[in-house]
A = this chain, B = another copy of it.
Amino acid sequence: MATIQDVAREAGVSTATVSRVFSAPDLVLEATRQKVMEAVQRLGYEPNFAAKSLRTLRTEKILVTVPDISNPFFSQVIRGVEEAALAAGYSVLLGDTRHEEAREEQYALMFRRKEADGLIFLGHRLPDVLAEMLAAKGPRTPIVNGCEFRPGLAVSSAHIDNERAAAEVMDHLYGLGHVRVGVVTGPLASPISSDRLAGVLTAAQRHGRASALRIAIGDFSIESGVRQAGGILDEPGRPTAIFCFSDEMAMGALEAIRQRGLDCPRDISLVGFDDIRFAQYLHPQLTTVRQPKEQIGHEVVRLLLDILAGRSTALQNITLPHQLVVRGSTAPPPA
């Protein structure tokens, strides 16, 4: 591969001029620019990335860690991230942490080694390495969280109002006349789950139905939906509605409902969360909470770019709008 020296020699100019042709073309005479570009063409020159990065201390990369890339919710968020990053001239380094702490730390080290200019993490755990960096540099550290807002966390973030969304779901169910409602949460360590659970409890109390709640803890997977919803359905005093904290768990719940010879929504109403692409193609179509997935991706990138450009000094925690999408899986309870 040709280097900038080769191009300079070929074009009969200095390396400085060649460099300027790329980074500040208006400082170079048009005729010179032409000469250089011809040499570039002839040699098939591409600037070496490592050299540029070493000199400028920038990588033009954003590291994104995600608990599970095969989850359609996350992959939509990532799409948004990728789109916004590319538009700003950044590319995306992807890290699938598989919900494992060790991998989260591993990627955090990559970031500290300066393999990326910024880090976006979509999980709820802040790796120790990052916590140290944040403690040292404060809110100007280019680290941003998506989806999982927790007030104590010293990072900017973009997310929906999970508590309110969950309360709206419960209002919808109580409004239809349901009394006994089952809830399948995610792991309660994550704010995404605990906030939604708080919303569920608030709404239940407001409607005087707190004692009729059945809570089961899932892990956002389809299988845990089958298992946890199944458990709820098998208890005495079976609920007439189930609210799952993800659409995938709702898919599992639908299976559990069918396995027991029940019908959704006739016998059991079902609500999911996220509104993944598949939600509206289930049978019945799934009532769920739409998260602005790509927009979350755009926003976290914007927050990160603000930090990188030195435009922002204080933390920003952005709440994006969600929407309860009522479809065929919810109906009044059986008489």
- Interface, chain A (partner B; CB < 8 A): 1, 44, 46-51, 53-54, 57, 59, 61, 69-70, 72, 75-76, 78-79, 82, 86, 91-96, 103, 106, 109-110, 112-115, 132, 222, 251-252, 254-255, 258, 277-278, 281-283
Q: Please, how many angstroms separate the alpha-carbon atoms of A49 and B116 in the complex? A: 9
Q: Are A113 and B47 in contact (CB under 8 A)?
A: yes
A82 CB contact (under 8 Å) in B53, B78, B96, B251:
B96
Give the residues in chain B near A113, CB-CB below 8 Å: 46-49
Known A-B contacts A94-B92, A278-B278; the reply to A51 vs B49 at CB < 8 A is no
Name 11 extra pairs, CB < 8 A, besides A44-B132, A75-B75, A94-B94: A46-B114, A47-B113, A51-B54, A61-B93, A69-B79, A78-B94, A82-B94, A92-B95, A251-B281, A255-B281, A282-B283
In the complex, the 8 A-B pairs of residues with the closest C-beta atoms, listed nearest first: A50-B53, A94-B94, A50-B54, A70-B75, A49-B115, A46-B113, A251-B281, A49-B113
Q: Are B94 and A93 in contact (CB under 8 A)?
A: yes
Interface centre among A49, A50, A252 (most CB of B within 10 A): A50
Name the distance in Å between A159's Cβ and chain B's nearest Cβ. Answer: 20
Q: Please, how many angstroms separate the alpha-carbon atoms of A113 and B2 in the complex? A: 11
Give the residues in chain B near A72, CB-CB below 8 Å: 70, 72, 75
Q: Please, how many angstroms separate the alpha-carbon atoms of A93 and B116 in the complex? A: 11
Give the residues in chain B near A76, CB-CB below 8 Å: 70
Q: List 7 A-B contacts (CB under 8 A).
A: A44-B132, A46-B114, A49-B53, A50-B114, A69-B79, A70-B76, A86-B106
A75 CB contact (under 8 Å) in B46, B69, B91, B222:
B69
Q: Please, how many angstroms separate the alpha-carbon atoms of A95 and B251 in the complex? A: 29
A96 CB contact (under 8 Å) in B48, B59, B79, B109:
B79
Give the residues in chain B near A254, CB-CB below 8 Å: 281, 283
Q: Are B281 and A283 in contact (CB under 8 A)?
A: no
Q: Please, how many angstroms separate the alpha-carbon atoms of A170 and B250 in the complex? A: 33
Q: Are B112 and A46 in contact (CB under 8 A)?
A: yes
Q: Are A69 and B78 in contact (CB under 8 A)?
A: yes
Q: Please, how many angstroms separate the alpha-carbon atoms of A1 and B91 in the complex? A: 24
Give the residues in chain B near A54, CB-CB below 8 Å: 48, 50-51, 53-54
Q: Please, how many angstroms separate the alpha-carbon atoms of A283 and B82 in the complex? A: 34
Q: Chain B residue with minimal CB distance to A56?
A: B50
Interface centre among A79, A110, A281 (most CB of B within 10 A): A281
Q: Are B277 and A222 in contact (CB under 8 A)?
A: yes
Interface centre among A76, A222, A283 (most CB of B within 10 A): A283
Q: Please, how many angstroms separate the alpha-carbon atoms of A132 and B51 in the complex? A: 24
Give the residues in chain B near A96, CB-CB below 8 Å: 78-79, 82
Name the distance in Å between A45's Cβ and chain B's nearest Cβ. Answer: 10
Q: Please, how many angstroms separate the alpha-carbon atoms of A283 and B278 in the complex? A: 13
Give the residues in chain B near A78, CB-CB below 8 Å: 69, 94, 96
